[in-house]
Amino acid sequence: MKFCSACGHRVSHVIPAGDNRPRYVCDGCAQVHYQNPNIVAGSLPVLGGRVLLCRRAIEPRRGFWTLPAGFMENGESLEQAARRETLEEACANLGPAQIYTLFDLPHINQVHVFFRAELASEHFAAGEESLEVRLFEEAEIPWKELAFRTVARTLECYFADRLAAGYPVRNEVLPPLAVTAVTP
């Protein structure tokens, strides 16, 4: 951030009085500009033991499979965001939903929340952000073609919990992936 969105003056990256973290503070009007994590809300839609996945039509990870999910909008609840994303990406409606997985990703300033829910009907289709949408049995999941770790982890939890016949709410911190050096 270089300029204040309130008055247009330059901002400085300093620790404001009474705070303990560096923030962008306007040099003109002294407005403190807080930057907080983004919330991604999504669903784990199931139908008869099969899971609904969407092949992404947009970046990042275009062409990879994902659960329907996206950034939460102002003015909506977590569940409303998950339902909206499911409708937008898979043209599908959900039945009753329960929070299932919560992932803290501090290295990218995000929190991902997935709701587990049965599809309200067998009607679904690819929305604008999806190339295709399909129901998968556990053995058919394209594990190496999943777009995000939070999606893979949610699916791992679901199939393990399904065997145990219980679905506890899970909250995990996912660290950044280790980067391996490539030598020529």
Digit-coded pLDDT (tens) for 93-126: 999 999 999 999 999 999 999 999 999 999 999 9
Q: Kindly state whether residue 182 falls inside one of the protein's structural domains.
A: no
What CATH number corresponds to the domain at position 121?
3.90.79.10
d(CA 92, CA 68): 10
* Structural contact between residues 66 and 146, judged by C-beta atoms closer than 8 angstroms: yes
Residues 7 and 20 in one domain: yes
Residues 12 and 44 in one domain: no
Q: Kindly state whether residue 47 falls inside one of the protein's structural domains.
A: yes
Residues 44 and 31 in one domain: no
Its domain, for residue 154, covers 38-173
Digit-coded pLDDT (tens) for 72-90: 999 999 999 999 999 999 9
